[in-house]
Amino acid sequence: MANRQSISLAEFLAAEGVPKSTFFRWKALGLAPRTYKLPNGRIRIRLDAYEAWQKSLEEPQAA
């Protein structure tokens, strides 16, 4: 398999343990990672966008 550069919505939902409705609520609120839509209508998330999204959720280190 070629080097993967994106994940499917189903893979994101499984990895984060959230239902599709939560993802679309986050998306409407601007809280989800950026996505793109394939010609067949499927939603994909670039791995770099997913990693940046995860990093944005990190809490500061306690002193």
9 or 2: whose pLDDT is higher?
A: 9
60 or 47: whose pLDDT is higher?
A: 47
Q: Is 55 exposed, middle or buried (0-12, 13-18, 19+ CB in 10 A)?
A: exposed
Condensed to tens digits (0 to 9), the pLDDT of residues 8-44 reads 999 999 999 999 999 999 999 999 999 999 999 999 9
Tokens describing residue 58 = 């990190």
pLDDT of residue 2: 55
pTM of the model: 0.85
Q: Is residue 54 a contact partner of residue 32, using CB atoms and an 8 Å limit? A: no
